Every structure is written in structure tokens, then in C-alpha cells.
Amino acid sequence: MGLFDFFKKKETAPEAQEALDKGLEKTKDGFFNKITKAVAGKSTVDDEVLDNLEEVLVTSDVGVSTTLKIIKRIEERVAKDKYLNTAELNFILRDEIQLLLSENNSNDFRQFEYGDHKPYVIMVVGVNGVGKTTTIGKLAHKLKESGLKVVLGAADTFRAAAVDQIKLWGERVGVRVVAQAMGSDPASVAFDTLQSAVANGEDVVIIDTAGRLHNKIGLMNELGKIKQVMQKVVPGAPHEILLVLDASTGQNAFEQCKQFTEATDVNALAITKLDGTAKGGVVIGISDQFKIPVKYIGVGEKIGDLQLFDKKDFVNSLFK
């Protein structure tokens, strides 16, 4: 059974939709206030409206190149229908954003399968402070709740706080944590975690890693070494390299994504703290620019507030 199938029962619940709507409130309010001002007093979508809309998208952290792509598409639609009015602009904008997300997430989470991988290995990367440990804890909770046996590996051995936080999450959600002393070799922790997961017949392994970007070569070498030792135990591991980004950092999240995708083969994104920011546009821009599926979004502080990213639900919630 696919990991998505385990989530599916939970995520379609009305409370999940409610949490998503609430989590996107700040982004939605900021976005629509700006759009309303952009089209005020206008009856048709003209060059001035499009210029104003461009500014709205850029200041909502959608990113310049993605914004220009959206504006170009809207211009093409306006050119076909000369009598397009501003009341229709929201519908067109929603449609174009949805299309863009569909194109850029062709390998969407709906097709993600747990398959024959046992254990399924997830290596989590991201700078300190983005909600990496919390995301790991919440993901472990979701998977355990769904009946999977999960083990966490505390391979961020450079910060005592990181190891302690993983241990606390392990206790909180009732999953096993493999840890060594602070300053231990991160690859050694990963090796031990996988070895014990195989011995215990566990389904999913989630490995935390150090969130340092001051030396990209060092980071690249470290992550490469962790991957190498994991493959000695589980060929093909890690199956997922999950980059955690904090939506509230706006354009800085783009830079972090650039740095980490250059350092390792990121194939999944988790975007956190959407509830605390009006910068939810980063989800659209990052998805478009890096062509990496957004798999999870954090929409609140509760343990159940990590959700599978569904582009249709996300855009509908944004335009409600």
C-alpha cells in the first residue's frame, strides 16, 4: 500500500480542509487586499491592471520569473477575449496558478508509492530554524497513526539541542530514536539507524541531518557520506531526500532551495509555517522554479497540522 493511501483517509476529513483554510488566512488576506487595490476603478483588464497584478504577485513572494510566466499567460488570454473584465481576473488567475502547479508537479504525491521498499528511507535536510525537527516529529506521528513502524535517526550531531529535540519527539509520538553522543559521525548514526530498522522489521526510517549552509562543499561531502553508508545497509537509500523550507522567510527560502538542490538530490519539499505568514506565494514560486514536488505543508502548530500538499485544495483555499 502507498504511503499516500495511509494519509488519504485522514487528509480528506473536513477538519483537514478547515486547518488548511485557517493556515492560509494571512496569505489569502494579503493577496486579495492587494488584488482588490490593483483593479480598483477598472472595468477591463488593461496594461495598468496587469502591471499592478505583476507587482502583487512579486510582493506576495511568488518570485519574479514565475510571476512573469503567469502574467504572460494572462496577457494571452486577455488578447483572445478583448472584453475580459476585472471581475473575471480572480478566476483566470486561479486557473493559471493551478495549471502551473500541475505542470511543475507531474510527479505529484498522488502517485507516490511506498512500494516494495522496506524500510523506506527519508533523509531530511534544511537549515536550522525552519521547522525541520518538528516536521520529522509530525511526519512520524502521521505514519505511526497509519499503522507503520517508524524509527528516527538523530544524525544532526553538531547541536545537542537537535538530538534532544528528536528524542523528545520520539517520546511524544511513541517511536524509537537512534542517537549517539554529540559530535559523533553523522554517517555512523545513519548506519546504525538503518541496520537496526532492518533487524526490527521497521517500515520507515527518517534521518535528521545538520542544517549548516556556511560551507556548501562541506555539506555536500557530509550528505554524500551519509548516503554512501546507508546504501551499504539498504541499497537505493535514501528513497526520499526531503528539504524543509520555512514559508515565512520568503525569498530566502528560494536561496536555501538553490543551495540544497546543488548540494544533494532533493526530490521532495516540505514548506512549513504557512499559518504564521502572508508569504504563502513561495509555494507557487518554488514549485515552478525548481520542479520539485511539494509533498507536505505545515499549516499550524498542532501535531496533526502537517498535511499532504494537494495543489487543487491549496489553490481553492487561497481563492476562497
How many Å apart are CA 55 and CA 281, to the nearest integer? 13
- 36-40: long-range contacts at Cβ-Cβ below 8 A with a sequence spacing of 24 or more? 39/86, 39/89
Q: Is 244 annotated as a binding-site member?
A: no
Q: Is 209 annotated as a binding-site member?
A: yes
Q: Is 148 annotated as a binding-site member?
A: no
Which backbone phi and psi does 66 adopt, to 5 degrees? Answer: -70, -40
Q: Is 128 annotated as a binding-site member?
A: yes
Q: Is 110 annotated as a binding-site member?
A: no
Q: What is the longest distance spanned by two Cα atoms in the chain? A: 68
Q: Is 115 annotated as a binding-site member?
A: no
Q: Is 212 annotated as a binding-site member?
A: yes
Q: Is 267 annotated as a binding-site member?
A: no
Q: Do 230 and 178 form a contact (C-beta atoms < 8 A)?
A: no
Q: Is 211 annotated as a binding-site member?
A: yes
- List, in sequence order, every beta strand (DSSP E) within the chain: 120-125, 150-154, 176-178, 204-208, 240-246, 268-272, 294-298, 306-308
Q: Is 108 annotated as a binding-site member?
A: no
- List, in sequence order, every beta strand (DSSP E) within 112-158: 120-125, 150-154
Q: What b-and-e string marks burial along 232-256, b requiring 16 or more CB atoms within 10 Å of the CB?
A: ebbeebbbbbbbbbbbbbbeebbeb
Which backbone phi and psi does 24 adopt, to 5 degrees? Answer: -100, 5
Q: Is 131 annotated as a binding-site member?
A: yes
Instruction: Specify binding-site residues for GTP.
Output: 126-133, 208-212, 272-275
Instruction: Specify binding-site residues.
Output: 126-133, 208-212, 272-275
